[in-house]
Structure 1
Amino acid sequence: MKEKKLNPTIAMVLSILLAGLGQIYNKRYIKGISFIVLEIAFIVATFDFLWLGLWGIITLGTIPGVDHSIFLLVYGIVALILLAFAVTFYVFNVLDARKQAIKLNNGWEPPTFSQAVKNGYDKAFPYIMTAPGLILLIFTVVFPLLFAIALAFTNYDLYNSPPRNLVEWVGLSNFLDLGTVDIWKNTFASVFTWTIVWTIVATSFQIVVGLILAVLVNDKRIKFKKTIRTILILPWAVPGFVSILIFAAMFNDEFGAINQDIIIPLIGGEGLPWLTDPFYTKIVLILIQTWLGYPFVFALFSGVLQSISSEWYEAAEVDGATRWQKFRHITLPHVLFATAPLLIIQYTTNFNNFNIIYLFNEGGPAVQGQNAGGTDILISWVYKLTFETNDYSMAAAISLIIGLIVSIFAIFQFRRTSSFKEEGNM
């Protein structure tokens, strides 16, 4: 008697109704029962928490002094993460039931229990080993990111702090305030403009200085190359925060060595307002970052330059190429091709370079009509909004903007970088 064919659609529908029913329909009883037990256990263990989390993330509480909006928001995000795992499992369960029904209809013989366990272990082993890392990643990266994104759409600040007051969803209000409310609009425009200028100028300076020094030291006529390289890399060996604090003392308006020992003896007066005038402070910050950043670029370029074959330069000399032409058509393309991804990282790192901005002058000096200092970049402004004025929702909104800018820039540049293309053409 011909065995009755299985209907993949029925198997799929049964698995949708209850995880494991489709497998039982396919006569994979152990797998089906296991899926049913997993689903029931998940529902029993997490139902109350999921209900509280979903209610909390929708309402953020209803009774001031009793409901803690931030705790409810955290519960809600965790509930969504758990639901994402559950949905992933459910989709796998449905697809597995349909796939196995088709395979059985095509004459596939199910493995024995011992074979199934062995095959399952072999297939699942990579996932078992990476599962702890994945869970850690979710709760140390994904969860904080989702929490920050959620805060950007609330009114969580000093005046709306639980449990005394409830936090409310305000939609795009924070983002609209950045473009419409005068103090936010003026501050954001000023800080954003300076952040872009700071990122481009400071990073470009350190790259140019590192490239020039690497090319000079790599020249055949230079002697004592190892000694020179060691000296040039010394700024990299000193911890950055130590160098920044030393420079902050040197450029102090009242007792700094730059004013007292150099500026005043040369031009007289009281010296230059390095820490009290945003223009001079910005110049100093760019110079300090160039000092701190060029050693890494210098070391990076030095390694690449030594890998370029001397035969290419010899062939160029035979063709009558000048030094500039050899640099432009041989040296520079090779250097940029090999280091482009790391140079892009230099720009994105300086975009969020909090240390130098805050340690040198805490983002100051103050600017009238703004709630950020004259040299604050976006990330240092976010720090002040979070820890000084407790405007958490606005800080989260600006952080979201920072993340989008850095992500878009990095993705766009990496896609255009030759070293990420299979062809490898320069």
Structure 2
Amino acid sequence: MNRHRGIAATLSVLFMGLGQLYNRQIIKGLFLIAVKAAALFYFIPNLGKAIWGVVTLGENTQRLEVVGKLTVRVAGDHSIYLLISGLITIFALFVFLVIYIMNIRDAYRTGSQRDNGEMPATFRQSWAHMTDKKFPYLMLSIPVIGVLFFTIMPIIFMIMLAFTNYAAPNHIPPKSLVDWVGFDTFLNLLTLKTWSKTFFGVFTWTIIWAIIATVTTYFGGMLVALLVESKGIRFKKMWRTIFILPYAIPQLISLLVMRNLFNGQFGPINQYLSYFGLGKLPWLTDPFWAKVTVIMVNMWVGIPVSMVLIMGILTAIPRDMYEAADVDGATAFQKFRIITMPFILFSTAPILITQFAGNINNFNVIFLLTNGDPVKGDYQYAGSTDLLVTWLYKLTLNNSQFNMSAAIGIIIFIIVASLSIWSYRRTKSYKEEDMIQ
């Protein structure tokens, strides 16, 4: 009774496509055999080398050899190229194994149809089924493969770098090899004085910055939205347009203009202060004032976003709730505390969490405004206003400390993911589908 399904599945296990040939699906079977042959042609010479490259990261360094009267440069193993090519091969093997399993399931399913007295689908029928009922899966498979190779693989590559000694000056290929060092990079980051002082200093400022930047832009946007939507305010469209302009202008332009405005020597702001006899302030050169400056500028570019969001929520609050509150004799503050604020928080809590996570990684404001400066002498490759993400950037592109930057990237991910999941799961918008009055 189950003879066909068993034979078809077994043949497909032995060699991809044989089960389809047994089920009289000739074109599909030949196509799958061709895929298996191409995979064998690629994996047989490359898979062993890929695994060797990932495990060893190479064995021979680049060197000079004297051949007769000539000095010849002999190419060695490039650890990073070996790691990348190895990951590509391993991921390709994963995709092939998924196809192989689908081939076995297809042969078993078609064999079951034959056992039940049904005719197996022809290639034309299979193609029509694939482009009709299975069309969404067919189209989604392309971006899935793209995400696998262009998103997941780079993440895994970065994670693996954190467990190596890939850093200047002694472990940069092809001059020298890179080695696996386990958790040494993380231990150095947290315990070695030259690194730990910088890490904990930058980490502390990152959290302080994220909290202040989120609170100021959120409640600043709420205040502006409430003021604009207040009764008796005329020209509401004009006010909305004025306050949205900072968001409409590209952030790159705004921040570079602000950098010039706050210039300590020639900036217009200090010139006006001097004109009124207040003296000049070291906006970007003093650690304290530099932090104050980035917070103020972030409010300028961030408040319009919260304002627009909260304006939309205010228009959705039922008017009869305010009318009932007026009948009960509630004050303006009581209506805000009991009606307006709960509605706003319920609707914006997930976005507030997103803004907090975004501020932890707010690269643009810090890098374009202060470049992480002013310099702090006891910090390792970091300045007084550097966040973890800008420090990571400097370590990678300016100082070739790739293993340390990879470790910091992992820590940033753990912090953001943990705080976001924990806080989101505690919000009413997650626990309840509808707001409970």
TM-score by length of 1: 0.90
The equivalent residue for 2:324 is 315
Letter in 2 for 1:286: I
The alpha-carbon deviation at position 241 of structure 1 amounts to 2.4
Counterpart in 1 of 2:408?
398
Mapped pair 1:305 → 2:322: no
CA distance in 1, matches of 2:77, 2:201: 39
For the 8 Å contact 1:382–1:399, the answer to whether it is kept is: yes
The residue correspondences of 1:331-346 to structure 2 (distance < 5 A) are 331-346=340-355
1:247 offset after TM fit, Å? 2.5
Taking the aligned partners of 1:417 and 1:103, their CA distance within structure 2 comes to: 50
Would you say the 8 A contact 1:24–1:33 is kept in 2?
yes
- Match in the other structure for 2:285: 276
Query: Shift of residue 22 of structure 1?
Result: 4.5
Name the structure 1 match of 2:435: 425
Partner residue in 2 for 1:349: 358
* CA–CA separation in structure 2 for the residues paired with 1:14 and 1:421: 51
Alpha-carbon contact 2:258-2:369 (below 8 Å) kept: yes
1:63 aligns with 2:60: yes
Post-superposition shift, 1:352? 0.9
Which piece of structure 1 moves more, 248-257 or 104-113? Answer: 104-113
SS of the residue corresponding to residue 3 of structure 2 reads coil
In the alignment, structure 2 segments of 5+ residues that lack a partner are 63-75
Q: What is the number of equivalent residue pairs in this alignment?
A: 421
- Rounded Cα–Cα distance in structure 1 between residues aligned with 2:335 and 2:389: 41
Distance 1:33 1:150 in 2: 39
Shift of 1:6: 2.0
Contact kept in structure 2, 1:6 and 1:26, CA below 8 Å: no
Q: Which runs of 5+ in 1 are unaligned?
A: none
Q: 1:39 to 1:123 in 2, by over 3 A?
A: farther
The residue number in structure 2 matching 1:166 is 177
Give the Å deviation of 1:98. 4.1
- Looking at structure 1, the residues matched to 275 and 90 of structure 2 have their Cα atoms a distance apart, in angstroms, of 63
CA contact (8 A) 2:353 2:423 kept: yes
* Cα distance in 1 between the residues matched to 2:389 and 2:428: 30
Shift in Å, 1:8:
5.6
Aligned counterparts of 2:246 and 2:2: Cα–Cα separation in 1: 75
1:210/1:294 contact within 8 Å kept: yes
RMSD: 2.5
The CA deviation at 1:378 is 0.4
Structure 1: which amino acid aligns with 2:415? I
For 1:81, the equivalent position in structure 2 comes to 91
Q: Could you tell me whether the CA contact under 8 Å between 2:166 and 2:401 is conserved in 1?
A: yes
Indicate the residue corresponding to 2:216 in structure 1. Answer: 205
Structure 2 SS opposite 1:274: coil
Residues 169-180 of structure 1: matches in 2 within 5 Å? 169-180=180-191
Cα distance change, pair 38–351 in 1 and its aligned pair in 2 (3 A): same
Q: Is it true that 1:116 corresponds to 2:113 in the alignment? A: no
Moved more, 51-60 or 91-100: 91-100
Once the two structures are superposed, residues 162-203 of structure 1 have per-residue CA deviations (whole angstroms, 9 ceiling, x without a partner) of: 111111111211111111101111111011111111011111
Q: What one-letter code is carried by the residue in structure 1 that aligns with 2:139? A: M
2:159 is aligned with 1:149: yes
Which residue identity lines up with residue 101 of structure 2 in the other structure?
Answer: V
What residue number does 1:235 align with?
246
Hey, what does 1:328 align to over in structure 2? 337
Label 1:334 to 1:383 Cα distance change in 2 as closer, same or farther (>3 A): same
CA contact (8 A) 1:203 1:290 kept: no
Instruction: Give distance in 2, aligned partners of 1:27 and 1:230.
Output: 68
Output the CA distance in 2 between the equivalents of 1:376 and 1:406: 17
**In structure 1, what is the Cα distance between the partners aligned to 2:131 and 2:206?**
51
Give, as a single letter, the amino acid of the residue that structure 1 aligns with 2:347. Answer: A
Deviation at 1:11, TM superposition (A): 5.2
Aligned-residue sequence identity (percent) comes to 44
Give the CA deviation at 1:147. 2.1
- Between 239-248 and 166-175, report the one with greater CA deviation: 239-248
- Going from structure 1 to structure 2, the CA distance change for 1:408 and 1:156 (only over 3 Å counts) comes to same
178-187 vs 38-47, which deviates more? 38-47
Deviation at 1:28, TM superposition (A): 5.4
Q: Choose which of 258, 277, 280 in structure 1 pairs with 2:269.
A: 258
Structure-2 change in CA distance of 1:265 and 1:342 (3 Å):
same
Q: Which residue type is aligned with residue 125 of structure 1?
A: F
- For 1:6, the aligned partner's letter is R
Does the Cα contact within 8 Å between 2:28 and 2:123 map onto a contact in 1?
A: no
Distance in 1, Cα, partners of 2:287 & 2:226 = 34
